[in-house]
Structure 1
Amino acid sequence: MQVSELYTYPIKSLQGVPLAAANLTARGFPYDRRFMLLKVIHSDDKASEPLQNMHVPEFPEMSLFYTDLIYPSNDGTQPGRIIVTYRPPGGAQVRTLDVPLQPDTRGLEELAIMMHQSPTKGYNMGATYNDWFSECFGYRVVIAYLGPHSRRVLGSFAPEKSAAHRGQRKTGAGLAGRNDWISMRVVGGLAGVTLLLNFVAGVTAGEVSAMRMLPSLMATAIAVVLSMLIRYGGGGWTKDERITFADTAPYLLVSRTSVDDVSARLADDEKMDVTKFRPNLVVSGAETAFEEDFWAEVQIGRVARLLLTANCIRCQSLNVDYATGRMSTGETGTVLKKLMKDRRVDKGAKFSPVFGRYVFLEKESEGRPVRVGDEVVVSRRTEERMVYDWPGLTN
């Protein structure tokens, strides 16, 4: 198998950006879902008008907005930006807007944002950007920038809470894990010998000298213990997993074989658009459709390891017609219904079909590159599917 496509979504729920390569980080591809749109709900009190999070199922017109990334120059002289292109249906005028990739947040209004009971903060980008989006949508909209903030991971989606990964030491194969334990014992033994020798040396110099050394010895012991916990206590993933404006996890993986299975269900030679699944990684070459339901861990290019922790349940966003910004009235408007027939396979989401897997990064893979064409190997599987444990959450 291999990586066939990569995508990032700088502004949540707008069209994504295809990538040839990217560096993996614990919070997703660089710049992924660092912005989101919120609809202003009219109120007589203009100072406290509520904001509604915007998602494609409720606002299918978001699919008419396309994004592209201009990365900052290596020397820092040219800042990065997002080019947003609005392509309305019916041949209406195409409009574009440049949004700074890393805005200066000084002086921007701070917003409290709640996503699926996981709170965070963002910055109101201001009238220049809000007015442009509002004119395109035909109602008042705010664009928010995440900045340095983040959100906690929901339910049991993080690796340390996932049934597929609890108790698993993500330090490599069994020998590597054993070697880590041996190394920890060696470090602890050497630290103990060092402390003992220091204490004996202090005693030989006199009782008063030894007593004076006790605070130093205790500080040394504490430092050794803390360093051991930091080095060996992580188990291969970050205990405090945090995410951006992505709903559930830093990455979403889908199989091209499974996408082709959906296409085969459509009449009139219709093809399923893989981007409607909002993937970050598309893997091609799987032998059977939906075998990814049972993948627990995959290795990419022999340098990066990804932890698959939960199924992605699906909603009406699959039925959106990207040409009109509305729900499709044709064959592509039946995708969700077709999947309902045999893909309601998650006991935790009995009324929703499953397609794709949520993914977290094994911590030692931080910063490693992934490229289209990289080999993909399933390094561990589960006998049973994961169980979705956050009702009401959608992609």
Structure 2
Amino acid sequence: MKISELYVYPIKSLRPTKVTEGELTRLGLRYDRRFMLLKVIPGENGEAPTLENMHIPEFPEMGLFQTAIESPKSENETGKLLVTYNPPSSSDSNNVAKAEAETPSETPKARHLELPLEPETKTLKPFTVMMHQSPTTGYDMGPSYNEWFSTCFGYPVVLAYLGNNTRGVLGTLAPAKRNKESWWSIWKQELVLPSNGHGNKILDQWLVPFSLGYLVLNAVSWCHTRIEAGTAPAAAIGVAALGLACLWTAVNLFVMRRHEARIGFADCAPFLVISQTSVENVSERLAGDEEVDLTKFRPNIVISGAEEAFEEDLWAELEVGKSISAGGGDSRVRLLLTGNCVRCQSLNVDFATGKMGTGESGSVLKKLMTDRRVDRGAKYSPVFGRYSFLGRESVGESIKVGDEVKVLRRAEEYTVTDWPGLTN
């Protein structure tokens, strides 16, 4: 199997940017879901307005926006994010789009916006973004960007930037929870984690144990010195033990925090993996020659070469590399697949009109309902694709279209979802 396509979604729920290579971060592919849109809901009876998170199934007009990434050319540049709004034909467009048309029969002109990929947050207003009971902080990008999107949508919206903030992972999706890792297994990973060519191996691997050993030796030395100075042994040992206990608690919290999986504006996990074979299965369910647009499944990584459709349901761990089958010495990337992606009305959105599709294109969700409700925790929703996290040793690596993919581990039974069905 191989990676056939890679996608980055710079702004959550807008259409993606197709890339041939992606840098891996603990929050997903670099630049993925760093921005999101929120609708401004006017307050009643003099109350302050509130913000509603925008997702494509509730706001299908988000499918009219395309994104493109212009990567930075030097370390001093931040790169650019290019957004294009393609209004639907005049018969389907909103009043704003109609006003732009030179004549009623013409298609309204596209709008274009350029913004920095990594804005400076010092001058931006922070505010709380609540996503499924998992809060984080976003930064309001300001009037110029908000007004551009508001004009396109026809109602006021706010563009938020994530910055360096993160969110907790929902349910038991995080690998440590899904695999029920003990504190000792986490510590073992901490002590033997390879640097994988990034950073200083000694610092990455041994900073924590060296520091702990140094502090323990100092505590023993202090205790010995106090006893020689006349302090009662029990008192000296008690103070030293208390100090070491406090130290252990602090370091253990640090290690657990460092090991904890985190996400950004993605709803559930840093990556969504789908199989091209399964996409073809869905296309075969549509009448005529119509094929499903795989970007409606919102994948980050598309894998081709699976022998059977939906065999990814039981994939638990994947290895990605340039020459796995040949036993090459290139770096390997490990993906931990921990949960099912349960589907919603986003599969039925028509990207040309910004509305729910009609005919075959608007029935994809219904067609999957017949045999894809395989998750006991979400029995009314079909499953397509797998949520994935990155092995910590793979942070900073890159993956490319054409990289080989190997299944390292399969689950014995289907994953059970323990949170409401969500969309990415």
| TM range, smaller chain | 0.7 to 0.9
Q: Letter of the aligned partner of 2:305 in structure 1?
A: G
Cα pair 1:266 1:331 within 8 Å, conserved: yes
Determine helix, strand or coil for the equivalent of 1:157. coil
8 Å CA contact 2:186–2:259 kept in 1: the answer is no
Aligned partner of residue 257 in structure 1, secondary structure: helix
Matches of 2:185 and 2:288, distance apart in 1: 49
Aligned to 1:286: 306
Report the equivalent of 2:386. 357
1:287 offset after TM fit, Å? Answer: 0.8
Q: Is the 8 A contact 2:343 2:422 kept in 1?
A: no
TM alignment of 1:5-84, pairs within 5 A: 5-44=5-44, 48-76=48-76, 78-84=77-83
Question: Displacement of 1:242 after TM fit?
Answer: 1.5
For the pair 1:88 / 2:87, whether they are aligned, the reply is yes
Tell me if 1:146 matches 2:162.
yes
SS of alignment partner, residue 275 of structure 1: helix
1:344 alignment partner, one of 352, 359, 373: 373
Asked whether the equivalents of residues 34 and 244 of structure 1 are also in contact (C-alpha less than 8 Å), the reply is yes
- For the pair 1:367 / 2:399, whether they are aligned, the reply is no
Whole-angstrom distance in 2 between the partners of 1:61 and 1:218: 62
* Distance in 2 (alpha carbons) for counterparts of 1:83 and 1:74: 18
- Asked if residue 303 in structure 1 is aligned to residue 324 in structure 2, the reply is no
Alignment of 1:257-296 (within 5 A): 257-296=277-316
d(CA) in 2 for partners of 1:88, 1:72? 29
Contact 1:129 1:143 in 2 (8 A): yes
Alpha-carbon spacing, 1:111–1:171, altered in 2? closer, same or farther (3 Å): closer
Contact 2:317 2:336 in 1 (8 A): yes
- Which aligned pairs between 1:251-262 and structure 2 lie closer than 5 A? 251-262=271-282
Equivalent pair of 2:55/2:423 in contact (CA under 8 Å): no
Bigger shift: 46-55 or 112-121?
46-55
Equivalent position of 2:177 in the other structure = 161
User: 2: distance between equivalents of 1:154 and 1:37?
Assistant: 21
TM-score, normalising length: structure 2 = 0.79
Match of 2:93 in 1: none
| Alpha-carbon separation, structure 2, partners of 1:166 and 1:82 | 39
> 1 CA distance for matches of 2:42 and 2:217?
68
3-state SS, counterpart of residue 136 of structure 1: helix
Structure-1-length-normalised TM-score: 0.84
Work out the percentage of aligned pairs sharing the same amino acid. Answer: 53
Letter in 2 for 1:129: Y
Cα separation, 2, equivalents of 1:46 and 1:113 = 22
How far apart in 2 are the matches of 1:158 and 1:5? 25
**Residue type matched to 2:274 in 1?**
V
CA distance in 2 between partners of 1:365 and 1:169 (Å): 18
Q: Equivalents in 1 of 2:3, 2:253: separation in Å?
A: 33
Q: 1:154 to 1:338 in 2, by over 3 A?
A: same
Secondary structure class of the residue paired with 1:337: helix
Q: What is the CA distance between 1:18 and its match in structure 2?
A: 0.8
Closer, same or farther in 2 for the Cα pair 1:72/1:271, shift >3 Å? Answer: same
Q: Deviations over 1:100-144 (max 9, x none)?
A: 212222343322211111111211111101111111111111111
- 1:282 offset after TM fit, Å? 0.6
Deviations 1:14-71 (A, max 9, x none): 0111111111111111111111111111235677111111111011110000001112
3-state DSSP class of the match of 2:12? coil
1:137 to 153, 156, 162: 153
Name the counterpart of 1:98: 114
C-alpha distance in 2, partners of 1:57/1:374? 32
Structure 1 residue 172 displacement after superposition:
11
Gaps of 5+ in 1: 178-182
Q: What are the within-5 Å matches in structure 2 for residues 308-347 of structure 1? A: 308-347=337-376
CA contact (8 A) 1:23 1:369 kept: yes
Which residue identity lines up with residue 385 of structure 2 in the other structure? G
Count of aligned pairs = 377
Give the secondary structure class of the aligned counterpart of 2:152. helix
In the alignment, the residues of structure 2 paired with residue 228 and residue 258 of structure 1 have an alpha-carbon distance, to the nearest angstrom, of 45
In structure 2, give the amino acid aligned to 1:4: S
Matched, 1:249 2:278: no
Q: How far does residue 160 in structure 1 lie from its aligned partner after superposition?
A: 1.1
Conserved 8 A contact 1:191-1:224? no
